[in-house]
Structure 1
Amino acid sequence: MSLVIRRIAIENFRKFRDPFTIDNLTDGLNIIIEPNETGKSTLMEALRAAFFVRHNTQNQLAKSYAPRGDSVAPKVEIDFAIDGAEWSLRKRFLKSASIDVEGPQGRAQGDEAEALLNTLLGSVRDTSRAGDVSTYGALGLLWVAQMDALEIRAPGAIVRDTITASLEAEVGSIMGGEAYRKVRERVDAQYELYWTPTGVKKGRQVEALRRFEVAVTASAEADDKVAQLERSFGELDVCRQRLSVLLREMADQTDSQIRADLVSSLEVARMAAQLLATRQAENEVAAGRLAKLEDIQGRHDAAVVTREKAAKALQDARTLRATSRERVTAGQSKVAEARLAVIEAQAANQRSADAYWKGSENHKEQQLQDAAAAARQRYGELIGLEAELEAMKRVELGAIPSDKLATLEVNERAVVEARARLDAGAAHVTLSGNAEGVMIDGEHMAPGTRALTRTTQIRLGDAELVITPPASAASAEKLLAEAVSKQNDALSALGVTDLAAARERTIAAREASADIRTLMARIAAASPADDRIGLAAGADALKLFVSLQKEPAARVDHGAVDLAKLKQQLEVDATALARAEGVVQSAIEDLRKCEAEEAPRATAEALAQNDLTAVQNAIANIQAHPDWVGLADALSSARQRSAEAAIQLDAAMRNATAHDVADINRKIATIDARARAAADQKTDLEKDIARLEATIDSEGGRGLAEQAAAARDELDASRAALQRVTDDANIIMLLRNTLEEARNETSARFAGPVARRAKGYIERLLPGCELAFSDSMALESIIRAGTEEQSDSLSRGTQEQLAILTRIAFADMLRDQGKPISLILDDPLVYSDDARLDTMIDILREAASQMQVILLTCRDRAFRHVAGNRVRLGS
């Protein structure tokens, strides 16, 4: 059963913002050849959207139909026929989404229309976000989008089931057929009670497992409560024992006596610490005084050494700078001389440039004068040629059309034939000798032969001769008169005297045409372009130039201009200028080097002078210090005082170490903390004892042992139920897997008939090759010359060709099952060579005799010769 698309109309669909319609599609082969970016692939998407995408979906695919940047409702309308029955489909997406399907059975809208479409086309509802072609049924396999044909894919589940059903009788199996589906549906129904489609536990298994987990939790809680009660008795005995021991320890007075002794020794330790602080302050004062005096002495000694070094550095810097200053002066003189030479070279170069410019202007003026004179001379030649051309055109216009010339020739033949007929049927009279007195029909008869076509009277003196010719002579004369009249009218209309003149005029017109072409070439040669005066090529440009020219002025002779000599002199002077400028640059560079050498030396001299001044100021400041006078005696006294303070500090430190206040305080704090901890522990133990006694009183009368026994019984029952459910689930899964394995084994037998049908097409492309299909009916490999080649290792062109041929084979089987089929290929056979392309086109033409085939391509040359219905996307 064939699906034939009659008409497609789309609006607001991607690049087709304005309404667009194709309404001349036919049953057989339809070819749409358009350049890239004209909407061929969009047309394919519109067909898929209309037939397979739900009108009210808001998924990503539907949103992509709206033109970019527009908030509109994409619309698609299709008129099509299935098995001769005419249908129409109207679908609108996104805004006010709607669908309307009308056919022999009436009209449907909304979800009913979508269901009707699925039934008509053998498809199922597509719930994916980006479009799943496997849900489109047979048309999902046979409508091949751009680049999809490059991959050899297995048909979807819908197509496989349909083909399997058609092959059941052929392979002698019910696996995959109606009987298999009934068994499989029952097994799947039981399977869904226990497992998800991916093999994860659900339903009864989850309920049994949940019951078992609840029983485990309840049993564990009951056992835990019993164990907790038993632990409470043990903890109560332990707490009472610990409290008894703690009370005995708190009654011991040893820590109290030790604390009293530590408090009495704390005052002695404080007096030793105060004496140590005093000795430390005295030692710091003595050490500070000594350090200050030693610093003054050290700074003075260092400044004296630095002063001697700065004086020597200053002397060295002055010596070096004197040498570099002389080099800078010499460099400055050299730069001045070089700049003077540059000025002279610039003047000479300017004189040469002026002379060359003046010579160039004179030469250009002479060239313009020569070009204008040549143009005027060519203009004169052009006028003569154009006059001759007009004459030839007039001759050419006199050409007699071939049909009219043929008419003259026909008329001439008619006249000749009429004269011959007249001569054959007329009476001929010949008069010779003395013709005086001989009269014919009352007129004097001259010597010679005369043809008589009617009754004629000839008088010979007194005698009269009557000659009566045959009756046919009169009709022949009439025909001759008519032929002559017709010929004369035709000659008069053409303005010629006879046929020969007409032929001569035609020959002259033909020769004039050749002369015209020669004259046109001579005119083009006489009016060339001339860039010197801005003249474009062509006679009109030459005429315009001459008409705009004034009378030529008298030629001004500037004499012979030797531009080469002037240019040579300019180049010599330019070279001299460049050299002079180079000398200046070199001198400036040398001066910069000298200045660069002199700059750090000047800086060094300034820094040395600054360092010397700074150190002299530092020495003066040190010597102005109040402690400078008598510094040696003060240093000796300060060293002695510092030694005495150190001895006294050492003695104070020994006394303070023997009576450490911090250590005594730490020991007192430890005794106090131990007492507080004992009191806190006593309180906590009394609280725990009270809590445990209350717990034992409350929990002991609740029958925890009976509750634990009941929970264990429930646990055993739920464990047994879980095992039963698990066994049932595993059996169902095993049965389902066994059915699937049996189906896969049988699918291998289905591949044989599929391969035989596909081989009929592929044999024409790859003679002598064997095909191997997978369980999913995908072309897996081919065998050529005993060698197996995987399909994905073949060339891109071969893969594309095999993908199309297998689809045609599947289409044959689907047609046998009464499924609606048509073949649409978007940009097919892009990798095919010329020979295989011709073979594939022949196969597609044959397929078009069984179903509608639509080719969308941009390859005009490849499909230009293919006979079929040509469809245009543009106007």
Structure 2
Amino acid sequence: MIITHLAVDGVGRFRSRHVVRGLGPGLNLLCAPNEAGKSTLFRALQLALFARHGSKTEEMRRLACLGAEIPACIEVGFQRGGADYLVKKSFLRSTGARLYKGGTLVADGRAADEAVWAALDLVPGTSAADESTFGLLWVRQGQSFKPAVPSEETKALLSRVIEAEVGEVLGGERGERVWKSITDKLSREETKTGPKAGGPWKAALDRRAAAQTALAELRSTLAALEADRTALAGKLRERETLADAAALAQMRTDRDAAVAEREQTAKAEQATQRAETEQAQRELGLDRARKRHEELVGLDQRIGKTREKIAALTRRLAEQNAACAAQAAALAAQEQVLGALAARWAEAERAVDQARRRETAARDAERVVEISTRLARARELREGIARIRQVITTLAVPVETIKAIEAAMQALDAARARQEAKAPRVTVRVGPAGAGLVTCAGEPIDGLREIAAVGPLTVAVGDIATVEIVPVATSEDAGAVEAAREKLAKALREAGVGSLAEAYERRAKADDLQTEGRGLVAELAATAPPAAKGSKEDGIAGLERALAEAQAGLDGAGIGAAGSAPLDRDVLARERTASEQARDALHREHADAQSAVHVARSEDAAEKFRQQALQIEIGEAQSRLAEDLAVCPDAGRDERLVALAAEAAQARAAFDAAAACATQLRAALPTPEQRSALDARVKRLTEAIKGNETRLIAVEQEIANLQGRIATRGGEGLGEREAEAADALALAETDVAAIERRLAALRLLRDTIEESRRAASESFLAPVKTAMRPYLHALFPGADAALDAGFSIDGLMRAGTDEPFMSLSDGTREQIAIIVRLALGRLLAERGQPVPVVLDDSLVFSDDERIERMFDVLTQAAEKQQVIVLTCRSRAFVSCGGRLLTIEREES
């Protein structure tokens, strides 16, 4: 099969008729941007071939043209079996279907749906046909990376194609019955996870497990009895050891001695802590005395430095005052020069303005002439447009009126057709001898004439005979014709015309006048442009206003008055240029003077800032000096320095004595390791005494319990019961061994048969792998793909490693899935059942190198069958080759 034509109208984004151009054998490539409608065309192609035209599925509703209540029309042309077919279907509204073969209509309506499916060898369905191999080889957008999963119908078709070549490969009917019998027997006794509940094997295993449990319980009871006897002897020896009074008295004596030693160490620790507290207090007093002495020394030094700084700043302030006075005088001189230049510059600006006004007035004089010419032409155009509109009002026939006349004529034609269809048909054949002798309704007849006898009809044969045919009166049809005539006459009267042709002619004349009027309106818009949007003033009023303004400008400048000489624009331009040059020279002088003033002002401000900074710095130094003298005046400062130094020396002596005492006491204390060992000895002895007493009580209780259990179990006959349980277990194990030998034989037979079936399956899939191998090796040299019996891909083997299909990257899975589809399509094509391969936006996950190889694969596949690729990646597919398809709008 080769698709040769595809057209849509009212489908999705295609409101009008669009056709896909260039379809043909081999590789077909449609490159178009996103939202160009490629996927819409793909779905339309599927619905036209596989869906009934009258069904209302969700897929069809999605093809409706948004915002328009129109039918969805699809045309598909294809070649199959040496014949050309054309399918035309409309969905959703005004549904219909037609099938043409070789240009001849062969089926219509529901029969056309069935005929299309029969031509494509598809199985009919309620609302659509099973897509069979088309569903496998036509890949929708976003589905390319998923593995090919054939439907049951597709699997059956592929199996029939392959079996026609390799024959029956899965064993005979007897082998199938043997395999089923074995699997049924195994299924009655086991499942995939183990023995089957309720089966013989499970029952035997349960009996063996029960015997093993009973024997284990008896042996466990015997072992527990022996263990109790051993434990009782051990507990009696332990009780004797725990009850030793001499050892317990020695532990209590050692504990009391350790407690007394720990209390003595605690008292020495407290004395040491008191001495260290005294040392810390003395050290704090020493720090305070030393800090007071150091602060007073620093204050005395700071007062001296501040007085020196104030004297230096006072000298600098006097120098700065003189510099400020000099800079103020220089600034005054610069500002005087700047004022004189500003006055001269303003006079030059007035001269330039006067020259420009005179030059502008000269241009306005020329503009008055130009505006007057345009105004006169605009008035002529406005009068012409008014005349044309008046004539159009007289001639025009409304479109609605013409449509009413056309509808009336169509109704009259339909009524006459119905009347003629019911009227008897009169056929007159005139032989050579009767030429010129026979008339019908007064008109001569030659040869063969067939007439519908709507009314009385007379046929005369010269003077020989007259035949009158009077049809049966049908008042209903005659009334319908008369009513249609009256309706047409009324429509013509209302339009003021004698016929539909006259209405068309008047309408055409009105259209010609409208075209002429639009030309005049365009010329008027160019001659007198309308005012801005929102303004009530039209273009002519704007020209009149502009003319008045230009004339007023001339009058105001004293130009255009009677007797005034015409202006020379060149002379005026030279006068304006000279005035501007003089003004610019003064402007530059003024700018230079202004810059000098700015510099002088900046320098004056800087000198004043430095003066203020010195004054502030002197004030701050004097404030700090006053604050320091308030804290420590000059009088008595030396005596305070001597007193604070003596106080610091006394604090140092007291600290040294306290530190020596604390050091002596700390040295006499035990070390932390010795104190920790003493605490551990007290704790150990205390816990040992308490644990000995607690353990003695527990051992007494355990001895009583063991003696009770031994007395109870001694008379239960455990030895005889153990021998009986061992015999029962041996019997159960014999039964289980027999069943497992039988099941092992069945499993071996089943596995042997399945191995043979797998070998047969490899032979069955060999043609598919052979068709796929050149494509696969072009992309993955030396690789092999694993297929299951349903033609679905399981994995990829390359470099001696099996890789599951789902573990591969999205790009690799997409490429392999497409290769499998191409191989199946090639297999069908080589067996005489070619099906086109359609890929919608595939190869989206391929890198640059892989996609080039995939182009080679597509080119190879296109040698055997038609391949259609829809893509939005124009740049990536530029080297793909093949036929380049286009979507073109086709005018009706």
TM-score, reference length from structure 1? 0.48
TM-score, reference length from structure 2? 0.47
